[in-house]
Structure 1
Amino acid sequence: MASLVRQLQSKAAVATEIAAKHGSSYYKQLLENNKQYIQSEPTVQKCQELSKQLFYTRLASIPGRYEAFWKEVDYIKQRLLARNDLKLEEVGIAALFAGECYAWFCVGEIVGRGGTLTGYRV
């Protein structure tokens, strides 16, 4: 067990050394590759303008998303009306998805109330 911990520590030290050595060059390269997205004048007014543009762009996209949502609902309705033609694979995927959504809801409720999944508080 002690040798495993030492191996893990040495690998972590090597990874830290590599990150320290190449981190700044990666950062500079990332900024250079994406310089078209960087504002030349980073002022408060420019930031406020960009946030308003984002907000109103998102607001303008609501009708398109609304239509896409109702298309999906219509598709599901059609599939349910023709449920005799459904394959077992499609039913299984739908059941798995519903179960996963329900499980996430339950886990969210447990965590939101301050509980833990195992029942033990740390």
Structure 2
Amino acid sequence: MAALGSKLAQMQAKACEATRYAAKHGCAYHRALMEKNKQHVVDPPTVERCQELSKQLFYTRLASIPGRYEAFWKELDQVKNLWENRKDLNVEHAGVAALFGIELYAWFCVGEIVGRGFTFTGYHV
């Protein structure tokens, strides 16, 4: 139990140190960040303008679905073509396909871990 208390005290000390650092440097960082990216800030920065931009983003993404849908089917046709002509594949193409499959599986695993709240066993402590 003493070890747990020691760890708690260490974490509290680190949290206090991080808070002090953020309080000391946070405003300067914010000012520098906003100055660097001022071309992206809409004037006036009001709630109404933010809601309008949010709607524009939503409907713009919605409008992009047909193009992405067509691109998906073109890619699927390419994969079908590769599968039909698999006799003509060389080692490089097979390696790229294997790496792609491994990457998809890895992203699936990462998504599962994130979905469980960054736990590996599925149980929360």
How big is the shift at 1:96? 2.6
C-alpha distance 65-107 of structure 1, shift in aligned 2 (>3 A):
closer
Q: What corresponds to 1:46 in structure 2? A: 49
Q: What corresponds to 1:56 in structure 2? A: 59
How big is the shift at 1:87? 0.7
- % same residue: 62
Q: Which digits, 9 at most, give the CA deviation of each residue in 1:41-67, with x for residues without a partner? A: 111111110000000000000001101
How big is the shift at 1:37? 1.4
Please state whether the residue corresponding to 2:101 is helix, strand or coil: helix
How big is the shift at 1:105? 3.1
Q: Distance in 2 between matches of 1:105 and 1:86?
A: 27
Q: Distance in 1 between matches of 2:36 and 2:105?
A: 42
Q: TM-score, normalised by structure 1?
A: 0.63
Unpaired runs of 5+ residues, structure 2, are: 1-20
* Counterpart pick for 1:79 among 82, 95, 98: 82
Of 96-105 and 53-62, deviating more is: 96-105
C-alpha distance 30-107 of structure 1, shift in aligned 2 (>3 A):
closer
How big is the shift at 1:103? 4.2
C-alpha distance 109-43 of structure 1, shift in aligned 2 (>3 A):
closer
Q: TM-score, normalised by structure 2?
A: 0.61
Q: Distance in 1 between matches of 2:78 and 2:71?
A: 11
How big is the shift at 1:31? 2.8
C-alpha distance 59-90 of structure 1, shift in aligned 2 (>3 A):
same
Unpaired runs of 5+ residues, structure 1, are: 1-16
Count of aligned positions: 104
Q: Distance in 2 between matches of 1:111 and 1:59?
A: 26
Q: Which digits, 9 at most, give the CA deviation of each residue in 1:54-93, with x for residues without a partner? A: 0000000000110111110011111111111111111122
Q: Distance in 2 between matches of 1:30 and 1:69?
A: 37
Of 54-63 and 91-100, deviating more is: 91-100
